[in-house]
Amino acid sequence: MVNFFGRKYCLNAETLRFEQVRLSSKQKARLAVLISLGVILLAIGLRIAFEQVYSTPKEIFYTKENLKLRSEYMALNENLRLVESQLSDLKNRDDRLYRSILEMEPVPSSIREGGTGGSQRYTAIRNITDPEIILDVFSKMDKISTKIDFQSNSLEDLYLKAIENQKLLACKPSIHPISPADPFWLTSTFGYRSDPFTKRRTAHFGIDLAGPYGVPIHATGDGVITTSHYNRHGYGKEIVVDHGFGYSTRFAHLQELLVKPGDKVYRGQVIGLLGSTGRSTGPHLHYEVRYQNKAVNPMYYFYENLSPSEFGELTAMANAKSGDLPLVAFSKK
């Protein structure tokens, strides 16, 4: 067999001539298949080699998306850090300021921090490639959510306590029962004194403020009238106000009673007129303050140092709240 220019020739024994060798149909088919496989394998090899050196458009797209998401996670992580810092500041103000002002105990950190999750938490996330950033973000979000829930409940407690304190401040006796615009003077203090009738040393459970007949007597804190009658055991015409929170006040020896049991009264409201009923040597007001049913010195409860004009404004507001009660006498004997 001889090969000339890529063609194969063989010697024909009968004709003694070189004749070109021709492939059969099966051989041609087999050759075509081999060539096709070779081309396919070559193409695959070239594709693999290309991808090892150059990124595909899809890979370039996903790489950009991955970088973008990573950047966004980092920004979110930073925002969460700022939120945690703000929550920490709010926690400090909660414990050191708000609860201190409202006389509430600080909350232990162990309770504030609480707990989240468990060993099976974030299982799906842990299975992804490079999960550290996402896990860190999710963990911080859970902690912040726990802190926010607790802080919300804490603020609700503070709000309720503040409302209670606001009511206490409104109800607690804190002003003089007689306006500074009206003439009055102190004639007897709290404690032991010489009884004006028996001259014996006896306990005096309030203070006596003398003045002209008919001087308006004002409620010293918000409350409800529990007594408004003539006391035959020495107090004469008296009014007792229950202020709640353990406080009550008594106004005795009045000339007129301007309220009745069950009435709601407000600080500054006129509830009676100064007189000299009962066991009295002259026109004056016997004023008592009681806490937990124990007499305390009323002088310790004159917190509001109001001018005559301020006292007048307080009275006007109290009368407006009570429905502008007229100065009409009400007495019960």
Q: Residues 297, 196: one domain?
A: yes
Whether 154 is covered by a domain: the verdict is: yes
Q: Residues 84, 138: one domain?
A: yes
pLDDT band at 119 (very low <50, low <70, confident <90, very high): very low
Q: Residues 313, 236: one domain?
A: yes
Q: Is residue 282 predicted with pLDDT exceeding 80?
A: yes
According to the model, what pLDDT value does residue 333 have? 33
According to the model, what pLDDT value does residue 163 have? 82
Nearest to 255 by CA among 161, 192, 327, 150: 327
**Sequence-ordered alpha helix ranges (H) in the chain:** 25-53, 57-93, 99-101, 109-113, 123-126, 132-171, 308-322
Nearest to 102 by CA among 150, 152, 156: 156
By CB atoms closer than 10 A (0-12, 13-18, 19+), residue 59 is exposed
Residue 2: strand pairing partners: 9
Q: Residues 143, 211: one domain?
A: no
Q: Residues 206, 317: one domain?
A: yes
According to the model, what pLDDT value does residue 88 have? 78
Whether 332 is covered by a domain: the verdict is: no
Domain enclosing residue 251, as ranges: 185-322
Q: Residues 217, 271: one domain?
A: yes
pLDDT band at 161 (very low <50, low <70, confident <90, very high): confident
> Which of residues 109 and 184 earns the better pLDDT score?
184
Domain end position, chosen among 113, 139, 171: 171
Whether 37 is covered by a domain: the verdict is: yes
Q: Residues 48, 19: one domain?
A: yes
Whether 67 is covered by a domain: the verdict is: no
- 307: domain CATH number is 2.70.70.10
> Which of residues 318 and 65 earns the better pLDDT score?
318
Whether 176 is covered by a domain: the verdict is: no
Q: Residues 94, 199: one domain?
A: no
The model's pLDDT over 33-62, given as tens digits with 9 standing for 90+, comes to 888 888 888 888 877 777 677 666 777 777
Domain end position, chosen among 171, 202, 231: 171
According to the model, what pLDDT value does residue 326 have? 45
pLDDT band at 263 (very low <50, low <70, confident <90, very high): very high
Q: Residues 239, 196: one domain?
A: yes
Whether 193 is covered by a domain: the verdict is: yes
Average pLDDT for residues 186-196, to the nearest whole number? Answer: 87
Segment holding 210, helix H or strand E: strand 207-210
Q: What is the DSSP string of 112-128?
A: HH-----TTTTHHHHTS
Provide the domain count of the chain: 3
Joined together, the tokens standing for residue 67 give 């970088």
Q: Residues 191, 162: one domain?
A: no
According to the model, what pLDDT value does residue 110 have? 64
Whether 179 is covered by a domain: the verdict is: no
Q: Is residue 63 predicted with pLDDT exceeding 50?
A: yes
Give the separation between CA 122 and CA 236, rounded to whole angstroms: 78
Q: Is residue 114 predicted with pLDDT exceeding 80?
A: no
Whether 61 is covered by a domain: the verdict is: no
Q: Residues 191, 314: one domain?
A: yes
Q: Is residue 331 predicted with pLDDT exceeding 50?
A: no
pLDDT band at 262 (very low <50, low <70, confident <90, very high): very high
What are φ and ψ of residue 65, in 5° steps? -65, -40
Q: Residues 79, 44: one domain?
A: no
Average pLDDT for residues 201-213, to the nearest whole number? Answer: 92
What pTM was estimated for this model as a whole? 0.59
Domain end position, chosen among 171, 205, 239: 171
Nearest to 216 by CA among 260, 166, 179: 179
Give the separation between CA 217 and CA 311, rounded to whole angstroms: 12
Sheet holding 17-20, edge to edge: 2-4, 7-12, 17-20
